[in-house]
Amino acid sequence: MEPLETIEVEEDVVGCEGGPNPALGHPRVFLNMEGRGQVDCPYCGRRYVLKKGAKAAHAH
């Protein structure tokens, strides 16, 4: 299934609220790409893709 919207980001952990107006979205969730370079929100279906050349954060 194709995502409703694809958003390029520069970090591999993103927060999603389902839209520009949080009151109309869903609870804020933090999504971790875990080295895959992309992640889909389980609530709204948005796809977050790591921008080309962006470096994934490393946990310490």
CATH of the domain at 44: 2.60.260.40
Could you tell me if residue 25 is inside a domain?
Answer: yes
In angstroms, rounded to a whole number, what is the distance separating the alpha carbons of residues 51 and 15? 16
Q: 39, 56 in Cβ contact below 8 A? A: no
Structural tokens at position 5: 């919207």
Give how many domains the chain has, as a whole number.
1
Question: Domain for residue 55, yes or no?
Answer: no
Tokens of residue 28, six digits: 């804020």
- What are the tens digits of pLDDT across the range 3-57? 778 999 999 999 999 877 766 789 999 999 999 999 999 999 999 999 988 776 6
Looking at residue 60, what is its pLDDT? 43
pLDDT score, position 58: 56
Residues spanned by the domain of 17? 6-49
Give the pair of three-digit tokens for residue 59: 């946990």
